[in-house]
Amino acid sequence: MTGKASASSELSDVRPGEVVVDLPSEADAHIYFIGRIATPWTRRADCPRKGDPDNGPPCRVAIDPRWADALAGLEGTERVQVLYWMDRARRDLVLQSPAHDGTTRGTFALRSPNRPNPIASSIVRLIAIEGTTLVVRGLDCLDGTPVVDVKPEHCVGAEPQ
């Protein structure tokens, strides 16, 4: 697969003021989807602006049985970092206009789904582990979103405030 091929199926319109670049002709590395996320949201317009780890609805992160052993020891972890793949994003936008008003900002100055590598990072609260499925609060993504990684999240205190 190439970037152009994968992007062409789901391209959103380029808004006034937005700028696109040619994607590289070659990929540098590849991703295995390790599972899928089930959420209540089937249209991007329905997704919350930001997930709420305290009061958001429970979502289910279903991990492929191939990786079942990799969940050993995660039980009891309160906060988990979930990396997922925003597979409906376009990858060639360098200047974007989130407000639809023609004023633009750079892609790396935004957390927009549209970026060269459309990987999202969310810190969620782990409620339960049922088999190879994590039940969590704090996601804001579309139902069916592919999972890229799951990591324990520890030291917010170590981050700059």
Give the binding site for a copy of itself (CB under 8 A): 1-3, 6, 19, 21-24, 27-34, 50, 52-54, 63, 66-74, 77-79, 81, 83, 85, 87, 91, 94-95, 104-111, 115-117, 119, 121, 123, 125, 138, 146, 148-152, 155-156, 158-161
Give kind and range of the element (H or E) at residue 93.
Answer: strand 93-96
Specify the 3-state DSSP secondary structure of 68: helix
Closest distance to a copy of itself from the beta carbon of 52 (Å): 8
What's the CA angle centered on 45, arms 44 and 50, to 5 degrees?
80
Closest distance to a copy of itself from the beta carbon of 116 (Å): 5
**What whole-number distance in Å separates Cα of residue 47 and Cα of residue 7?**
21
When the beta carbons of 38 and 110 are compared against a copy of itself, the nearer one is: 110
Residue in this structure with the two tokens 């279903």, named with its chain if needed: 62
When the beta carbons of 41 and 51 are compared against a copy of itself, the nearer one is: 51
Closest distance to a copy of itself from the beta carbon of 45 (Å): 22
**What whole-number distance in Å separates Cα of residue 45 and Cα of residue 43?**
5
Closest distance to a copy of itself from the beta carbon of 63 (Å): 8
Pairing of strands 35-38, 59-63: antiparallel
